[in-house]
Structure 1
Amino acid sequence: MTDSTTPIAIVTGGSRGLGLATVTELVRTGWHVVTDARDADRLTSATAALPPGSVTAVAGDITDPAHRQSLAAAAERAGGASLVIHNASELGTSPMPSLADYPLDAVERVYAVNVFAPLALTQLLLPQLRAHDGRIVAISSDAAVEPYPCWGGYGPSKAALDHLFAILGAEHPELRVYAFDPGDMNTAMHQAAFPGEDISDRADPASVVPALLRLLSSGLPSGRYRGADLTEAAPA
């Protein structure tokens, strides 16, 4: 168990990209973070540079019920989660095909990771979150609201995630429940969406984290927010 004054967060998909950048900044600002990734070696390497005892790394697949139980148990042992950030995501087939040609098993995997797993993990964590004035963040995308051709797997899954957590926020007014659209970033997933293209002009994930943390501390009501709109002038 951590010190009773140390807040506990769960960040899924914490071995790279926005997930790792978020874990790093939360640790820097005093959180203990429980995080995961499917690749155990990458997760170990990613978290090795963080202060000892600041992170609980749990390798596994977020679609696995036993793995989700392990994440919830790790947070409970640490003192109970007051924040969960559903960052782990599945893009789907790359290059992304049109819906007419999209393999249905790939669509099922996208929804398993992007929709069902966040709901299932949240169900496990609700007792902890309610006990700690909790906040829930679902990482969204502009593909959730714009009908981009060939984004028929990922985009609708993020739209479903947004609406799912909008309903959760309405059902649990005692919690803050956010969908957060970070905008385009220079990540492995974004590169997979545009294979062979130069995406070096996209934002570094670390540059997006301040907007996310601003949302968490803002007191804004549950809802969907874009990182680009969360300026320094956002309500405190």
Structure 2
Amino acid sequence: MPVAIITGASKGFGRALGAALAGRGWDLVLDARSAGPLEDAAEELRGHGARVRALPGDVTDTRHRGALVAAAREFGGLDLLVNNASALGAEPLVRLEELALDGLRQALETNVVAALGLVREALPLLRAAEAGAVLNLSSDAAVEAYETWGGYGASKAALDQLSAVLAVEEPGLRVWAVDPGDMRTDLYRAAVPLDDDTGRPLPGAVVPAFLRLLDARAASGRYAAPGLLATP
């Protein structure tokens, strides 16, 4: 069975993608900071018949990243690494003049440094896979100038560039940076708590766009989920 590591998998997009992969027969290694919600997600996904390891921890912790990859190795390898765990840097978001530098460091450490650390740890398994792939969750804030989204957007822009360079350096892998578009998630509510998000789609509605990338083994690059969903 193919194996995936998904960070930030206790809720939102990570959990929805995990459910879709489990339904397709994938084995999963799941990460999140909160043990209770993560185990709840794991139990749900085991209901699809998948083997699931739930490892609570922080992706900024080197030992935790090593444990995630070790769990994938125990399952027989690694076919897909999903860097979904994200930090905003400030909750709610604030203008750059108010953004604490420690908050920016947290966003960069979680969204960029930890993502690269996990990629580096996982590369031997990904290279050995028949169709190894890295999926990095980006954002439209990486390419658009939205007020108060500067710190988070800067971290996602850095992740986009990391993805692009990794694709050049590892031509045998697929490396995708994907903007999921609007979603109704706890992360968005924490970012802009006064905004009405009732019109935003739930994460499960976006997952088919990511499955299209997997099914087609699309070329490495940056994608936007709404565009993928609109493609016949």
TM-score relative to the length of structure 2: 0.96
Match of 1:89 in 2: 86
Match of 2:181 in 1: 183
Task: Specify which of 157, 161, 168 is matched with residue 170 of structure 1.
Answer: 168
Task: Specify which of 1, 5, 10 is matched with residue 5 of structure 2.
Answer: 10
CA distance in 1, matches of 2:41, 2:5: 16
- Counterpart of 1:43, as a letter, is L
Match of 1:199 in 2: 197
Output one character per residue of 1:41-76: Cα deviation in whole Å (capped at 9) or x when no partner: 111122222226521110100000010000010001
Whether the aligned pair in 1 keeps the contact of 2:30 and 2:42 (CA below 8 Å) is no
**Number of positions where the alignment pairs a residue of Structure 1 with one of Structure 2:** 229
CA distance in 1, matches of 2:78, 2:193: 37
- Counterpart of 1:87, as a letter, is N
CA distance in 1, matches of 2:191, 2:121: 32
- Counterpart of 1:23, as a letter, is G
Shift of 1:233: 4.3
CA distance in 2, matches of 1:232, 1:200: 22
- Counterpart of 1:117, as a letter, is A
Match of 2:15 in 1: 20
Correspondence list, 1:195-234, <5 A: 195-231=193-229, 233=231
CA distance in 2, matches of 1:50, 1:137: 20
Report the CA distance shift for 1:144/1:232 in structure 2 as closer, same or farther (over 3 A).
closer
Match of 2:113 in 1: 116
Q: Say which SS state the counterpart of residue 222 (structure 2) adopts.
A: strand
Q: Say which SS state the counterpart of residue 150 (structure 2) adopts.
A: coil
- Counterpart of 2:97, as a letter, is A
Correspondence list, 1:27-38, <5 A: 27-38=22-33
Q: Say which SS state the counterpart of residue 173 (structure 1) adopts.
A: coil
Query: Is structure 2 residue 52 aligned with structure 1 residue 55?
Result: yes
Output one character per residue of 1:129-177: Cα deviation in whole Å (capped at 9) or x when no partner: 0000301010000000001111111001000000011000011111100
Correspondence list, 1:67-78, <5 A: 67-78=64-75
CA distance in 1, matches of 2:70, 2:104: 30
CA distance in 1, matches of 2:69, 2:79: 12
Match of 2:143 in 1: 145
Whether the aligned pair in 2 keeps the contact of 1:184 and 1:190 (CA below 8 Å) is no
More helix by share: 2
Shift of 1:196: 2.4
Give the gaps of 5 or more residues in structure 2: none
Q: Which segment drifts farther, 188-197 or 170-179?
A: 188-197
Match of 2:102 in 1: 105
- Counterpart of 1:112, as a letter, is E
Give the gaps of 5 or more residues in structure 1: 1-5
CA RMSD between the two structures: 1.2
Shift of 1:232: 6.8
